[in-house]
Every structure is written in structure tokens, then in C-alpha cells.
Amino acid sequence: MAWRRLLIGEGPHVAARQIAVLLAGCALLALAVLPVIPEGHRMLLACEGGAQAVLAAAGWWLPWQRWPPWAPLGLGLGQLAVLGINGWVFGVTSTGNIPFFLLLVVWAGVNFPVRTVAAVVAVVAVTFLAPLSATEHAPAVLNGALVFVPTLAITGVLLAHQSERRRRDLDAIRRAHEALQRSHEEVRRAERWRAALTATLAHDVRSPLTGVQFALETLREDDGLSEEQREKIAAAGMRQADRIRRLAGGLLDADRVDTRGELRLNTRPVPVHDAAREALSYLACPVAVEIDGDPVVDADPERLEQILINLTTNAVRHGEPPVVVGAEPARGGMVAIHVRDHGPGVPESRRELLFSRFSSADTAPGSVGLGLWITRELARAHGGDVTYSQADPGARFTVVLPAADHRPGERPPS
């Protein structure tokens, strides 16, 4: 029900609304008994009811959630001041305020710690006993000091202890729930990376496997090859087979995915020029390398090789020559590696899907839409990213990786 959401819970706004209900009840009670009050006291009682109504409105409508948890105590102190004045005027009739004193202490016990409750009980005791003492009502004073005030103190302290224990239990349950959610998220991330690695193997192994198949078929079917030609073809096949072995060993190694679901990288300083030359040696088509200087990135060599092969293969497959690999320093201690072709580029309608998994942007026969997605995942694992831009003519893919000489803290969050 709506009233439960407003009055039951934790926080200063809930406590303020609870005491606002009590104050509104007191205001209505003051107005109800106004006709039977002696003429000389009606104005005072009407003012008391008005003050209680103002406090109740403040408790209900003010933005208490913006203020400290103890802020609603101001409403209780305001009401105690009103009741204190009432006691000075009416004397012994202030015992009619006992139910509210009790409800005020119960409210404090439910919403505040033990020390706060003890302070509230002390103020209530002064508010209750001082007017009685001043009007020389000794029996009422003695009864209040020996019975009522201790009862208030015991009730408030017991409730405060019980409420604190409940809050601790709820906090423990909340922390356990958050820890469980974090564990589930870590498991999901780990499974996501393992699925990504398996998908990467399925995607990247096709090209070297085709090279091995071509080498074997050539050696079997062409008897007119010289010994030197056979050696070159066999060496090319062995090179592609070695790439398949490294792909399988690296991508299917479950230990490379840690308990937080992140891919562990064996990073070291890698010259971009050397990495590009090594990656392009696996391709059968010419790709130019135009890199000024000698930029060095902090990267896992095998993962960087995958990134470069994926981007250059994508450029060769979908673009037009010449395909050029370049690199330059970027902001924030990073290095930007560009792979550009001179084809028509990517249609604007498909650019948003370029880096999505199983992207429909890749319409080449046999493509499963994983290459660019894998490339971005590997770049982000390094703390970098991959972006696309129109080269006019052609397409330019830019992978940004940390420079090897960057200072700790310069790598942006992935």
C-alpha cells in the first residue's frame, strides 16, 4: 500500500513523516478538546494546536533526505517545547501528554541509536517533571521520577538496540547480496571472455588453415616443382601451421582468464614496425608499412599480431589497394596505429554495427562477423580501443594502445 512506502523504511525522510503523523494527531486532539477548555486557556491551546500542525506539515513536506539523519529530531524538540509550555500553564493536566511522551520515545528508539534515545529520554523527563515540580505537585513528580521516566528509558533503549541489530542484519544481507551479484558478474565476464577466445580461434584459424591446405595440395599435385620451390612451399605451410598452434595455445588457455573475468596479457615493449612486418608476413597480398620513427607500444605480442592481422585482412577483403599501415603518437601516452585502404569505405548505415558481435556489416562469403568485434575486445583488454573513420577515399581503422614509455596512471580505463 502507498502509506507503507511513505511511513515504513529507513532514512530521515521516513522518520520525519512518522513523527509528522504523531504531530498531526496531537493537533487534531487539541482542536477536539478546545470547546471543553476554560475560556482563559483556549487561545493558548489553539496556538499549541497550530504549532503542532505547522511542525506536522514541515515533517511531511520538507526534503529531509537531503539533510543529516538526526535532522528530524528537531521536530521532536519543537513538540517538547510546546508541551513544556502546556505543562507550565496547565500544571497537573500535563500528565495527559504521557501517551505522546511514550510514542515520541518509541519513535526515537525505532529510528535512532541508543545514545540519541538516551538524550531524548532526558529531555522528555525534564519536559515532563519540571512543570509538575514548579506547580508543587509532589505525588505526580515522585510517580513520574520513579515509574514513568524509567519506563520510558527502558522502552527506548530496548527498541534502539533491537533496531540497531535489525539494521546490522539488513546491512549484512545487503552486502552479501552485493557480493553475490559481483561474483555472478565476474563469472559472466569470465564466460564471456572464454566464449570470445573460442570464437576468436574459430575466426582466425581459417586463414592459416587455408595456407596449410594450399601448400599440401601444391606439393601433392605438382610434380614439376624444383627442390627449392618445394622447400619454400613447405616452409610457408609450416609457418602457417605454427601460427595455428600458437592461436590454439593462446586462445584456448583458460588460465589466461582470471577470476575477475578479465584477459591476462603478457605485455612487454613491442616496436610497432616490427609487429606490423611480422603480422603482414602471413598475408599473401601486398600491404605497405609507412611508419615514421619507431613507436613502441606496451602490448602482448600475440594479441597485437591478432589485431593487425584482423585489421589488414579486413582492409584487403573489403577495400581496394593500396592498403597502408601507419602509426603515430597519440594523446595521453598512447600510440595510434592506422590501417587504411582506398576502397569505397563503409556505408553509413552499417557503421554502428561494425564492432558488434556477429555483425551484419561484414557481408563477405564465409564471414561470421567476429573479426572487428574481437579486435576491439583485444584492444580494450590492453586499455585502448579501436575506431573507424572515413578516409576519403577509403576506410581507416585506428587502434590506440598504451605507449611503452608511458608513466603509470596515464593508461585510460578500458
In this model, does residue 137 exceed pLDDT 50?
A: yes
Asked if 233 and 328 sit in the same domain, the reply is no
Indicate whether 284 belongs to any domain.
yes
Q: Are residues 231 and 326 in the same domain?
A: no
Please say if the pLDDT value at position 244 is more than 80: no
Q: Which pLDDT belongs to residue 408? A: 41
Q: What is the pLDDT of residues 199-233, one digit of tens each?
A: 666 666 776 777 788 888 888 777 777 888 888 88
Instruction: Please indicate whether residue 53 or residue 199 has the higher confidence score (pLDDT).
Output: 53
The per-residue pLDDT for 365 is 37
Residues 248 and 300 in one domain: no
Whether 215 and 100 share a structural domain: no
410 lies in some domain: no
Per-residue H/E/C for 286-312: CCEEEECCCCEEEECHHHHHHHHHHHH
Q: Are residues 170 and 34 in the same domain?
A: yes
Determine the average pLDDT of the residues in 118-146.
75
User: Quick one: 42 and 7 in the same domain?
Assistant: yes
pLDDT at residue 56 greater than cutoff 80: yes
Distance CA 285, CA 310 (A): 14
Do 170 and 28 share a structural domain? Answer: yes
Considering the domain architecture, whether residues 51 and 87 belong to the same structural domain is answered as yes
Counted domains in the chain = 3
Residue 376 resides in a domain: yes
Is 262 contained in some domain? no
Give yes or no for residue 409 having a pLDDT over 60.
no
pLDDT tens digits along 299-339: 999 889 889 988 998 888 888 889 999 999 998 899 999 99
- Which one is predicted more confidently, 222 or 403? 403
pTM for the structure as a whole:
0.47
Assigned domain for 97 exists? yes
* Residue 212 falls inside a structural domain: yes
Q: Is the pLDDT of residue 401 over 90?
A: yes
- Candidate from 64-68, 76-80, 169-173, 226-230 with smallest mean pLDDT: 226-230
Comparison of pLDDT for 296 and 302, the residue scoring more: 296
Which structural domain range is residue 236 located in? 205-256
φ, ψ of residue 366 in degrees (nearest 5)? 85, -5
Which CATH number covers residue 228?
1.10.287
More confident residue, 39 or 229: 229
d(CA 338, CA 328): 8
For residues 185 and 86, which has the higher predicted lDDT (pLDDT)?
Answer: 185
Does 133 map to a domain? Answer: yes
| CB-neighbour burial class of residue 310 (10 A; exposed 0-12, middle 13-18, buried 19+) | buried
Residue 414 lies in a domain: no
Same domain, 283 and 332: yes
152 lies in the same domain as 286: no
Question: Cβ-count burial of 34 within 10 angstroms (0-12 exposed, 13-18 middle, 19+ buried)?
Answer: middle
Whether the per-residue pLDDT at 99 is higher than 90: the answer is no
| Model pLDDT for residues 363-379, shown as the tens digit of each residue | 443 333 456 877 888 89
